[in-house]
Amino acid sequence: MKEEIIQKISELKKQRNAVILVHNYQKKEVQDIADFTGDSLELSRKAANTTADVIVFCGVHFMAETASILSPDKKVLLPDSASGCPMADMITAEQLIQFKKENPGATVVTYINSSAAVKAETDICCTSSNAINVVKSVKNDKIIFCPDRNLGSYAQKVLNKKLILWNGFCPTHMKMLPEYVALQKEIHPNALFLVHPECPPQTVALADEVLSTTGILNYVAKSDAKEFIIGTENEITFKLQRQYPDKKFYPVTDLAVCPNMKKNNLEKVLNVLEEMTNEVKVPKEIADKAIIPIQRMLEVKPS
Ligand code: 13P
Ligand code: SF4
């Protein structure tokens, strides 16, 4: 049955000239059929450069929106149209417009985990892997950072620069409390602690490295260490354990699951390829504005 679905997906993919882009948090069965898996920045670059006519985006809604903004002539399909990101929903365009009025003259840096309408009110976007370089590239001393207060706090600390933070957060990463990390460190004293910057600042403060999802995967690939405590969504921990059976990976907590990322599955991928439904399309007047901060971000050089 599963093999049949995979076979059908593969045939339809050719027929439709489709590419399947998959975020690192997606279920294993979905990652297994990917043309490309990655973090938000890598997936944006892939979406911008693909020659496919159809992008099946296995991630959450803002990621599919970003792909549609970058490739407006392609059909972007989200297998489960209800897979949103609660953090992205924590700021609306109207709220950002009001916040800009309260902080006149500020440059707006917006995390990619945001709606297209919010990006349209933004000067430059960032992701977890380039936030430090993006904030560094802004010449203004007055910077609004939204919506993730934790990623903003991390950038503040690294750059020793005060940012005007919006009070958004990721409910999944907020579950990774410093006391859970302390407990894991006590049980596994030789383990390195790798963390995603969406975690609370007190948790990030305990980290050996602060990295994006792909950053965590790449760090382990190069490290000689044998044990790791992983401070992000647990799919990364499972993926690492499968990839490196001789090493040991410990989640900070079993509660670190993003329910939205788990909504996509093989049946839903097949369904959108068959029916060409669940298209994510950003209205042109918003997309024309939102593409500017995304392109500015893509031009920031990695350090
Ligand atoms: P990455 O860009 O690090 O993959 O993070 C995306 C995300 O939503 C993390 O919660
Ligand atoms: Fe959004 Fe958090 Fe899920 Fe990432 S893990 S998609 S930030 S809810």
DSSP code per residue over 158-181 = HHT---EE--B--TTGGG--HHHH
Question: How many whole angstroms from its chain centre is CA 221?
Answer: 20
Question: How many whole angstroms from its chain centre is CA 107?
Answer: 22
Judged against a pLDDT cut of 80, whether residue 103 lies above it is answered with yes
Q: What is the pLDDT of residue 238?
A: 96
Write down all domains in the chain, each with its CATH number in brackets.
2-84+261-282 (3.40.50.10800), 88-169+289-299 (3.40.50.10800), 173-251 (3.40.50.10800)
Distances 232 to 40, 197, 220, 253, 266 between C-alpha atoms, Å = 14, 9, 14, 9, 24
Judged against a pLDDT cut of 90, whether residue 77 lies above it is answered with yes
Q: Which ligand is nearest to the CA of 260?
A: 2
Q: How far is the CA of 213 from the centre of ligand 1 (A)?
A: 6
Q: Is 230 left (phi over 0), alpha (psi -120 to 50) or beta?
A: beta
List beta partners, residue 78.
Answer: none
In tens, the pLDDT along 128-160 reads 999 999 999 999 999 999 999 999 999 999 999
Q: How far is the CA of 167 from the centre of ligand 1 (A)?
A: 18
In tens, the pLDDT along 283-294 reads 999 999 999 999
- pLDDT (average), residues 224-253: 97
Which DSSP letter does residue 279 get? B
E strands, 158-242, are: 164-165, 192-195, 209-210, 227-231
Q: What is the pLDDT of residue 273?
A: 98
- pLDDT (average), residues 18-47: 96
- pLDDT (average), residues 107-127: 98
Residue nearest to atom 8 of ligand 2 (CA): 85
Is residue 43 in contact with ligand 1, taking CB distance under 6 Å? no
> pLDDT band at residue 1, thresholds of 50, 70 and 90?
confident
In tens, the pLDDT along 176-203 reads 999 999 999 999 999 999 999 999 999 9
**Ligand 2 atom with least separation from CA of 62:** 6
* Residue that the structure tokens 């992205």 belong to: 88
**Ligand 1 atom with least separation from CA of 196:** 3
Test site for ligand 2: of 80, 235, 260, 263, most ligand atoms within 8 A of the Cβ: 260
When the pLDDT of each residue in the chain is averaged and rounded to a whole number, the result is 97
Tell me the pTM: 0.96
Judged against a pLDDT cut of 80, whether residue 218 lies above it is answered with yes
Percent of the chain past pLDDT 70, that is, above it, reads 100
Residue 242, SS3 per DSSP: helix
Distances 117 to 17, 77, 81, 120 between C-alpha atoms, Å = 29, 19, 18, 5
CB burial of residue 254 (10 Å; 0-12, 13-18, 19+): exposed
Residue nearest to atom 2 of ligand 1 (CA): 40
- pLDDT (average), residues 266-284: 97
- pLDDT (average), residues 221-248: 97
Judged against a pLDDT cut of 90, whether residue 303 lies above it is answered with no
